[in-house]
Amino acid sequence: MKQQTLCAVSPFDFTLSRYVVLDNGLRALLISDYSGPSASGDEDSDGEDEGEEEEEEEEDDESGGDSEDGSEEDDDDDYGVDEEDDNEGKKKKGNAEKQSAAALCVGVGSFSDPSDLPGLAHFLEHMVFMGSEKYPSENGFDAFLKKHGGSDNASTDCERTIFQFDVQRKSFKEALDRWAQFFICPLMIRDAIDREVEAVDSEYQLAKPSDSHRKEMLFGSLAKPGHPMGKFCWGNAQTLKQEPKQKKINVYKRLRAFWKKYYSAHYMTLAVQSKGQENLFHLLYIKSQSIRLTEIDLPKADFSDMLDPFDTPAFNKLYRVVPVGKVHALNITWALPPQEKYYRVKPLHYISWLIGHEGTGSILSVLRKKCWALALFGGNSETGFDQNTTYSIFSISITLTDEGFQNFYQVTHLVFQYLKMLQTLGPQKRIYEEIQKIEANEFHYQEQIDPIEYVEDICENMQLFPKDDFLTGDQLMFEFNPEVISAALSLLTPEKANLMLLSPEHEGQCPLREKWFGTQYSIEDIEQEWKERWTGNLELSGDLHLPAENKFIATDFTLKPSDCPDTEFPVRIADSDRGCLWYKKDNKFKIPKAYIRFHVISPVIQQSAKNVVMFDLLVNILGHNLAGPAYEAEVAQLEYKLVAGEHGLVIKVKGFNHKLPLLFHVIIDHLADFAASPDVFSMFAEQLKKTYFNILIKPEKLGKDVRLLILEHSRWSMVEKYQALTAGLNINELMEFSQSFRAELYAEGLVQGNFSSAESKLFLQYVTEKLQFSKLPAEVPVMFRVVELPLKQHICKVKSLNKGDANSEVTVYYQVRLHLCCCCFLSDAHGGTVL
């Protein structure tokens, strides 16, 4: 057994890491956490109250087997209309300081699926956890975690499979033993196969309406025949049950053989985080040393010789696609040689930083001026789909307006002009060092990460990087290498790009269907006129240029002294008839960051459905107006969010406190001087129609809207808002609304973090002086009143508006005080209901 201590990489990293290689070949990183209470190292006596159980269960958005789950943008493709999230900033299960966690990465994934059993790797990920010889109960581990405030998950990627769990520290020893048995002697009994096939099939059915997953499957189908990228990684009842039965394939036997071949200790990396180095070391050694080594020490599955999978006639075409959501989007994609070996330079990160820039001279700023685009994402998500040993994806995804959709070739032309400019100018050391500094600042002062998330990242890093870079390899930019960056840039040419254009207007024009997700698409050659313009001497655009120096990068990280007594909770330090301010100094984490939140309350929003729509438009256009001026703040790790709350505008700003007031002032200035052109108004009105529509076709969102409509007084439904919007609104009405909105307000703020109380008061002062509003004539409630349900059970059945979605949603609502129950059923397109 070999071991080595890895030092902490930040003054705010209260962990000590020990790297060990066990005799069976398993590589492990033991992360001993010395932050928080009782770092004595005694797992069973760490000062926690034995009766204290975590009551919140993890909300599992993805159901465990997210094969190749990773998209560069939100799956909804909704622009704006952020809803207030009461749980923002909360840990998944409350106090992460009291959790221990472990994650194991196996160096095998869906690329290794046999051709006659698509989805076998994903299926095995499920079956491994169906009991062990020592703990045979199928659901015993989940029940144990639930009882002791824990959670678990797993995911299958192209070349890796990851398992992770967390639990209260006092229960970690037993939890680790139960968990380790799944890799030592899993039962994988025959009787469980049919049940778990249904679980895998359910995940597949849930993924089918996702446009991001549909795009991935369609893109994978363009790979060369025989390349693993073309495999159906999800698996379903057809591939794992029906077809094997017809072909007389023994799935159970093949599953055991797959496990025996690939779930070997020398393919595994393990990360464990808890209190106490010595106890942790002995605990890990006892539990993990028993994981088997394959009888024949075979090398790990290797696909690195299968390069250029998309060097085919099917690539460099125009694919027109019918999306599920009501959205226009253009995806420009290149398949490059694997870039992972250049992790110290991160060439794709440098390029994507410039491509995705939103300031003056950027692609998106020009497109926004033309009212052709709403958003742009560029780069590589670093999931197995985007980056593996056979290729690296570089993709640019642009959310288009109706006019942008009509001019998508001109949009593509502008992208190619920008890339030509980058190739001509070459890599810029000034820009690289600016990005490097931003990333280093964020890493150096990063807030504590949930242990389960941290070990998940680290165990995968251990498969990718040398041991000295386990903790930093995926985050820091180590060295400027213009040759490596130029080599990647030189490959991003028009003749090597593939275009995918998504639009509901393609309905009826796309005769082809992708095999597994049923995506409708068509293929055509890129128009010759544009090919000639791009492959010739492509002229540069005078509207495009590199970004200027970023004035939002923090340089002062001094911790401010307290100028008032410490308090456990925020206290009100300013109060008037126009607003109030709450304040709390950070004396716990002691990092140079702060959080500011203002709720600007207005009585006019809820007066009508039309006003609610006007408010949504105002907030969306305000965000649009801020996109350029505030973008540099975002890339400097200053975050801001505008939320169209039910009774007012919520402004959230957080990050390094040094430049935070500058960003806050920019936001308030744009609110005070709000303006919109007719073209911008029309663009956002059309986009808001699509957003409302996309909300209505999602069962979970429609169900929530109906439930709140039943329960809350004076709430306007999404249908009523959609009707008000489609009835016709104009720019003059919006400007009149913006004036009435700002006329009478109440501003309630919170400042928390590395600011003094005197500095904090200046934020409220700036809001009241800049916006120049009058006090409210009467108090405005910030929450809706809830209906008192009659004394019986109620069932509301709603038919889904998306005929192509077979999923159903059930919501159960309890008015606990009155012991009432209200169920809302959302059925599939056939009118059936499920419970």
3-state secondary structure of 346: coil
Rounded-to-integer distance, Cα 61 and Cα 67, Å: 14
Rg (CA), the chain: 28
Helix (H, G, I), strand (E, B) or coil at 638: coil
CA distances from 223 to 87, 173, 230, 318, 390 (A): 42, 46, 6, 15, 11
Alpha carbons 578 and 757: distance in angstroms, whole number: 19
* 3-state secondary structure labels for all residues of 279-325: HHHHHHHHHHCCCCCCCCCCCCCCCCCCCCCCCCCCCCCEEEECCCC
Residue type, 195: R
Quick one: how far is CA 830 from the chain centroid?
32
User: Coil, strand or helix: which one is 712?
Assistant: strand
**Spatial separation of the C-alpha atoms in residues 513 and 516, rounded to whole Å:** 9
* Nearest residue to 639 (alpha-carbon basis) of 471, 775, 447: 447
Beta strands at 27-33 and 2-6: parallel, antiparallel or unpaired: unpaired
Q: Which position has the token pair 């029309």?
A: 682
Q: How many residues does the chain have?
A: 835
Cβ contacts of 51 within 8 Å, gap of 6 or more: none
C-alpha dist (Å) from residue 204 to 12, 66, 300, 435: 41, 9, 28, 38
Residue 238, SS3? helix
User: Which residue type, as a one-letter code, is found at position 125?
Assistant: E
Diameter of the chain measured on Cα atoms: 81
Q: Are strands 571-576 and 579-585 parallel, antiparallel or unpaired?
A: antiparallel
**Which residue pairs, CB below 8 angstroms and at least 24 apart, start in 201-204?**
201/235, 201/236, 201/237, 201/240, 202/63, 203/63, 203/64, 203/65, 203/66, 203/234, 204/234, 204/235, 204/236
Q: Nearest to residue 597, comparing CAs of 559, 544, 641? A: 641
Planar angle of CA 634, 556, 659, nearest 5 degrees: 35
Question: What residues are annotated to the active site?
Answer: 125
Residues whose CB is less than 8 angstroms from the CB of residue 399 and which lie 6 or more positions away in sequence, other chains included: 73, 77, 79, 327, 328, 329, 373, 374, 375, 376
Q: Is 404 strand, coil or helix? A: helix
Which of 646, 361, 408 minimizes the C-alpha distance to 505? 408
